[in-house]
Amino acid sequence: MSDLLNKKCVPCEGGVTAFDISEIHKYQKKVDGWDVVKNEKDIYFLEKKFNFKNFLESQKFVNLVGKVSEEEGHHPDIMFGWGYAKVSITTHAISGLSENDFILAAKIDKGASV
């Protein structure tokens, strides 16, 4: 994970190929607890559910994810409520996963552990 923490998300306007499943699995080993899921349009996402003691802790985490996402210029989908937050990450411009998604996942994990 540390090599991902030292990288910065690179703006993606498309024109690059999304990772294939073997590349996804290689990078998945670098982030802890993130699941690779495919939606009904065959687009891969990274997803992880975080658990908290109450709503305020969930909200604090979501605010932290928002800050990290803005710094990286890469924005996940977040669903949260009392005691949980679920984060889904993909690179919409290429309809799949790229290194940016794994960089963001690593930085979210680092923030969650603080």
- On average, the pLDDT of the chain sits at 92
pLDDT tens per residue across span 23-40? 999 999 999 999 999 999
CATH number of the domain encompassing residue 39: 3.30.1360.20
User: Long-range contact list for 17-24, CB < 8 A, 24+ apart?
Assistant: 17/94, 18/44, 18/91, 18/94, 18/95, 18/96, 18/97, 18/98, 19/44, 19/96, 19/97, 19/98, 19/99, 24/97
In a domain, 29, yes or no: yes
In a domain, 38, yes or no: yes
In a domain, 23, yes or no: yes
Query: Which residues constitute the domain of residue 68?
Result: 17-112
In a domain, 2, yes or no: no
pTM of the shown model: 0.92
Domain count of the fold of the chain: 1
pLDDT tens per residue across span 58-72? 999 999 999 999 999
